[in-house]
Each structure stands twice: as C-alpha cells, then as structure tokens.
Amino acid sequence: MRRTRIFWALLIVFGALSTADAQKQKPVADWPAYGRDAGGARFSPLTQIHRGNVGQLKVAWTYRTGAEEVNAAGKSNAAFESTPILVDGLLYLTTPYSRVIALDPASGKEKWGFDPQIALDRRYSEMTSRGVSAWPAVTDNKKAARRIFVATLDAQLIALDAKTGKPISGFGENGVIDLKRDVRFGKYDGYQNYQVTSPPAIIGDLVVVGSAIGDNGAVELERGVVRAYDAVTGKLRWSFDPIPQTEKDPARKTWAGDSAVKTGAANAWSIISADAERDLVFIPTSSPSPDYYGGERKGDNARANSVVAIKASTGQVVWHFQVVHHDLWDYDVASQPMLVNLKRSDKEIPAVVIGTKMGMLFVLDRRDGKPVFPIEERPVPQTDVPGEQSSATQPFPKLPRPLVPHQLKPEDAWGLNDKDRAYCRDKIASLRNEGIYTPPSLKGSLVIPGNVGGMNWSGMAFDPTRNLLFVNTNVLPFEVKLIPRDEYNKMRETGATNRVKGEFGRQTGTPYAMYREPLMSPTGTPCIAPPWGKLTAVDLASGEVRWDVPLGRIPQLALIGNKAAEYGSINLGGSMVTAGGVVFIAAGMDDKLRAFDAETGKVIWEGQLPASAQAAPMTYAVGGKQFVVICAGGHGKLGTKRGDSVVAFALP
C-alpha cells in the first residue's frame, strides 16, 4: 500500500511539471492564468476531488454579480464566458460588461469591484469578457506588486492594483491605455466594431493584447494589430499586424495587388499563449475581412487563419502555420494554441496543439512549427462565383482524424419524424454540397462544419499523466449564400432581411452580401444525425481517439425522454482536467456542470446550476479544501438560460 501511494504521488508531481514549461514553478493550489498555465493546458495537479468521490460534490457558495439586470435591459447578445483566476489568495473574474470582481475563494464574498463604465447603450458585435490576467505571471514572485490586467469591451487596457482594485496611476494614463489609438478604422458605419473579449497574455514584463472585430461588415475594416506593452509603464514595446504591410515581407506575395493595404481584421480575438522559457508568444489569428468573399484579397492570405510564433522580446515573426488558405468560411483559429510537452519515442517534444473550427487538430513542434503528425495538402472544391478565386488545396492532418463529420449527403438527412427528414433531405439536395471547403455560392452552399465549429474559443484540456487531450466540439452544418449587391439592397428596402431566421453580412466593398443560417428541421433540430455536441479524448502519443461521447442536453428536447442524452448539445465553453482523473465541463444548452471519467468518458457526476454555463470551469485549493468554480450566466446568441451566478462546488 505504501509503495502504491508513493507511485501516485510521484505521478502527480510528474503531471504538474510536464504540462507547459511555464507551469513548473506555480503553486499547485492556484489557477494563475485563464488556462491555468500560460500555455492553456487547463490541467490541475490537485487530487482531493477524484473519480471515487466526485459524486459527493455539493454547492459550497454562490455569488451574484448583478449583471442579470443588464441582461434584462435588452442586451440579447451578452454572454457570461469568464473563467476566474486565483492568485495571492483572491479569486478574480469579469462580467460580460468588463466589470472586474475580486472574491474570497473560500466564501465567495466580494472583496472589491471595479467598473470601467463602458457605454452600454452601444451595439457591440460581441458582448462578453473571458477574464483577466495577473502580473507578474509567477505566483511566488515577491519583487513586484501584483497587478490585474483587463482588456475591455470598448477596447481599453486597464491595470488594477490586485489588493484594492484601483487603477495603477503609473501605467498608461492613470492606469488606462486606449487601444483604439493608432488603429485604422474602417469605412463601415455600423456598431462598435473594435473591442477586446479575451484576457491579455503575460510574458516577462510584457502584456500582449489582441482585439475582436466584427469582420463581415466590409472589406476595409480595422486592422487586427497585436500589441505588447510594458507591464509597469504601459509603454508600447512592439506591434504586429498579421496582414503583411511591407513589400519586403515574404508573406506579402500571398496577397494580390493592394489587398494587404485595404483588407482588415485577421485579428487575434481568442487567447494568446506564452512560452517564457523560449521567449515566444503564440498568436491565433482570424480570417481577413470579409469572411465569405475573398475576391478583394486573392491569394492564400498568409498569417491570417494561422498560429504565428512571435519572439516576445522583439516582436519578430519566428514561424507561422496557416490552418486555412484564403478563408471563405469564417474558420478563425478560435481556440487558444495549447502548449504541452509530448513524449514520443523516448523524446520529449515541446509542442503546440491547434484546435480548429474544422474539427481538425494540428500538432506542431513549437520551436520551429514543424508537424509532429504528418500534414498533407489535399485538393478541395473550387468556387463558381464570378470574381472569386479559391485555394486549390487545404491542409489536412493525417492524425488525429477529424473529430466532426466533413460530409452530409441528402440520404443522411436526419429528423425526429418523417416530415423533418423529408424537409432536410430536400434542403440538402438543393444546395451546392461537396463536403468540407465547399465554397459559398449564389445558389447556396452547405458548409460543414459551420462557423461555430468543430471547436471554438472553448479550447481544450490536456492531462499529461495520461497523455490525453480532451476536446469538445459541435456538429452543426450551415447554409451560406452570397447575394448580389442590388438584390440585397432591395431586400433591405422591403424589409425582407428582417423576416428570416439567419444572419446577414453586408460585406461592403464587394459585389455580394452574405446570408448564413444553421441547417435545421421544421421542429428545430439539426438536419444531421446526433450527437450535435461531443466530448472526445485523443491520445497525443499515438494520435488515436480514445473515446468519444455526447456532451450536454438540449432542454427543448426533454419531451423525448432519456434519448435526449444521446443527442448531445450545441456547446460553447471549455473543459478542465485534474490529476484526480476527472474532466469537468458544462458548455451545453442545459444548466448542468458535468464530471467525466478521464479514462472512459463516462459521466460520473452532474451538478445543478442556476443558469446555463457557457464558460470554462477552474479549480483551486484554499485552507486544504479543493473547490471547482464555474460562471453560470448563459449565452444570448445561443439562447440558453440567463443569469449572473458564480458557483463553487466542494466535498462536504
């Protein structure tokens, strides 16, 4: 018995030390960054809660942020996506409106709050905040006073005193940097188009921040510039534009004519990862503007839809890998690039794992961007839209296999009844449909997977003791149609654009507007066979899928009984995994936090929440007690139950 205990103790220590290099010196009880370590592995070495006792978890405390009143005021697209962090004995989180709150981690009592007073009477393309960052990044650093950084919905970078919540007067202008400065704003007269929704990255004495841009409005939109600021003074140290600006840049050759000057976006709206040991930051970029027509930006559009490795001390590009050439499907790199150490053939490889909306995983050596598993360029369907020029090929990893379907044929149409199936079969048959990377068309194209993924900002979790990567995905095809400009203008004049279920994009500066909507049956279920939401475990040593199970439930399907559990749910929100062998995730449209057995994928506990949780959970220990915490406030666009609760679970 003693020998067994020693073995497990060593295994836990090994797990804590082999995730991302940056995690090595962090106390095991803390959760110091959005993904716990700077590389986003979302692994905790805590073991008090494990597979044997997780079923005993009870609510330990609940905190209300007060944001529910703002939700009720008509902010229909608000989403509570925050993941709290724990440093120096305080729990820090944000509301969808960028308010920062510090809580006592044992009781949930508020210690302080800071409200940046963003203008709530504006229309924001996204209304969310995924959290804050702490500097210095190493939790036991006593040489510098702790600062909490928040990047706000109205594009401000704010430094707060971690103990009091007051702005740091010596940073920027009285604690604030206006990120809208020196950004070329586009010619699209619409809603608040330039904002920040994800926490900045911290590396050394730098704070690195991207932006979120509503990128379907026009060609000439805001630039997706990533900037690094001195964490003490706020002085700009470097900036990086994913769209190459000089003729000397080799990537410029992949942008035809003056498109690199005109086009906007290609921004980093998701979470940036940092590798302090190698002086690298890993930037996930989005599609250039607009998403669904690239006739004004012909070429591969290098460094858009990519992970770009930047030398943190200088801002210079070290390497980049593009997951989609000349994106026409809104296939942003939405997940945080995950930094992990993989053991293969008795060698340890510092890797970066890129999760994609296409449901494909690219595993690269993070030192040079070379593939760990082979990647090949394959021919893909070609456009028939006048003025467009699609890429002849796209990259596909040989391993792991795609985690979501890449094809939906009419004979595969699904529905709850004969009427549903007939409708879906006819709808699928009416669209251009050649599998993944079928280009948008004037006829209407079936896009599978749709722009919500596959994977999305939810990210992944990695258990280094088992070499398992846990990925939640959506299985939801979309219809995408290009509309000639004159026809679109007439639709607006007659009000036809207000009488549809889907979403329009003006794409000003191109010959076409865009329309998209999920492919649904008359009763509101997807036209593809379930499960529509999944949690998958991938062995990163072999590239093989270990298990694949439905995730969540859709409350509207409760009338069909227990079978709804087999259907899974459209989901937004990430997972975490602990050394106790438990994967925690909510994310689905129901109001449950679930625990899965990391070895088998079996659901071993469900915790009731006051609202749906489109956020990623975290865990920590204080006073010898382990807590699991999640923000449960729902998601306006997903239509889930709304609220403003932070809920902590613990053993009795």
Residues 6 or more apart whose Cβ sits within 8 Å of residue 104: 90, 91, 110, 111
pLDDT digits over 34-75, tens only?
A: 999 999 999 999 999 999 999 999 999 999 999 876 665 556
Task: Report in angstroms the alpha-carbon separations of 153 from 183, 185, 189, 508.
Answer: 16, 16, 18, 24
Task: Please give the pLDDT value at position 6.
Answer: 33
Rounded Cα–Cα distance for residues 309 and 339 (Å): 12
Task: Establish whether 332 is a catalytic residue.
Answer: no
Rounded Cα–Cα distance for residues 361 and 366 (Å): 14
Rounded Cα–Cα distance for residues 132 and 12 (Å): 28
Q: What is the residue-wise DSSP string for 483-552?
A: EEHHHHHHHHHHTGGGSSSSEEE--BTSSEEEEEEE-B-TTS-BSSPSPSEEEEEEETTT--EEEEEE--
Quote the distance between the C-alpha of residue 112 and its chain's center. Answer: 28
Instruction: Report the chain's terminal Cα–Cα distance, integer Å.
Output: 26
Task: Please give the pLDDT value at position 557.
Answer: 87
Rounded Cα–Cα distance for residues 438 and 510 (Å): 20
Residue span of the structural domain in which 66 resides: 2-650
Task: Please give the pLDDT value at position 77.
Answer: 83
Rounded Cα–Cα distance for residues 424 and 500 (Å): 18
Task: Please give the pLDDT value at position 23.
Answer: 37
Closest CA to 476 of 592, 567, 590: 567
Task: Report in angstroms the alpha-carbon separations of 407 from 208, 397, 433, 477.
Answer: 38, 17, 8, 9
Task: Please give the pLDDT value at position 13.
Answer: 35
CATH number at residue 93: 2.140.10.10
Residues 21, 37, 241, 330: which is the catalytic one?
Answer: 330
**Number of folded domains that form the chain:** 1
Residues 6 or more apart whose Cβ sits within 8 Å of residue 586: 552, 573, 592, 593, 594, 609, 612, 613, 614, 615, 617, 630, 632
Regions of the chain with pLDDT less than 70: 1-27, 69-75, 139-143, 186-192
Rounded Cα–Cα distance for residues 502 and 471 (Å): 27
- What DSSP character marks residue 440? P
What amino acid occupies position 243?
Answer: I
pLDDT digits over 97-112, tens only?
A: 999 999 999 999 999 9
Task: Please give the pLDDT value at position 143.
Answer: 66
Task: Please give the pLDDT value at position 8.
Answer: 35
pLDDT digits over 218-242, tens only?
A: 999 999 999 999 999 999 999 999 9
Largest Cα–Cα separation, the chain: 78
Closest CA to 443 of 427, 428, 432, 435: 432
